[in-house]
Chains A and B, each alone.
Chain A
Amino acid sequence: MSEILLQIDGKEVAAEEGTTILVAAQSVGVSIPTLCLHEKLEPYGGCRVCSVEVESRGRSSVVAACLYPVEKDLVVTTRTEKLDRIRKSLLEMMLAHAPDSEPLLELAEEYGADKDRFEKEASFCIHCGLCVRYCTEVKKANALGFINRGAKKEISFIPEIASKECWDCKECFELCPTSALQAAFVLIEALTAPPQPTTKSCHSCG
């Protein structure tokens, strides 16, 4: 594979074709914050905290470093006023959902994010998808998935699979950046709550 030359924070970097900006930056010691990244999982681009500014052919844009493949002569900046502002807002929104999350609070301190900026809506989920993707990609158990969309999107276990697979695994619990108990809570709920209308057969039509 051919080597591609690009610039990250003023440093000349040679990276193999197909690698992402994030990996290229790490290879020269430039650190970019991440929340939804995990070494065993495919990059997801869910949290956007790794947003960086790229300039190619005179155009500048903000992209997710964990997904964006390196390009020839790309000029990447990982820390600008604009990026700090974006990361600060993202963190503030995520903190409204998970005010006590340690990884979030650490980043909040660095970027000056105010955890009380938005009204609290403690769902304890920032939709990073770590638990869902781990269950699908690594364990291949598919016991866990997202349901609904937009503001109502949440994680949900499938009771039939969870009752067989989850008790001996629980590996997703510790991946959670907001609280190790979030997945546990939803799991217990799935296994103990009375069946939802969706899982119940209907009297009038069988």
Chain B
Amino acid sequence: MDSGKIDQIINKHNADAGSLIQILLEIQNENNWLPKEALTRVSETLAVPMSRIRHITTFYKTFSLVPRGRHEVHVCTGTACHVRGAERVLEAVEGVTGVNAGETDPDLNFSVETVGCIGCCALGPVVVVDGEYHGNILPAEITKVLQDKK
């Protein structure tokens, strides 16, 4: 990520230490993950110690300190989705993307994550691909959706 873009985001928030989380979120939106250089830049400009930034970035699951894929796949394994076959859906997702839950493939195409519950149990099993909700989905259907993203 180029440092000009990082500075632009920091300046938008007037380099205010109180906007730390907002700044980190915007960098992550831009870049998919938080590279160390970006964190160092934020730490220096906002005068927030690196220990504090690491505390915050490891606390919230939203932040990723390792590279993430272009496509984010969230498979709900909450109770309702679980009893409606989320396990088999997850297997299909892992099969087509080639990565296990919590991992990213080497081409940075897919990141697969399991989530607890996304609040639409009536639609279960649910898979969210790049923010798009796929409800009542069959393993074969999600395979097709993900094939198109390859």
Contacts and interface: CB of A to CB of B under 8 A. Distances in A.
Interface stretch (A40-48, A74-82, A146-154): A146-154
A148 B106 contact: no
A147 B55 contact: yes
Given A142-B49, A142-B51, A149 B58 contact: yes
Given A197-B66, A202-B67, A204-B106, A145 B36 contact: no
A181 interface: no
A156 interface: yes
A138 interface: no
B67 A145 contact: no
Q: Size band of the A side of the interface? A: 20 to 34
A205 interface: yes
B54 interface: yes
A180 interface: no
A136 B52 CA distance: 10
Nearest to B49: A142
Nearest to A202: B67
Contacts of B66: 197-198
Nearest to A142: B49
Contacts of A160: 50
A95 interface: no
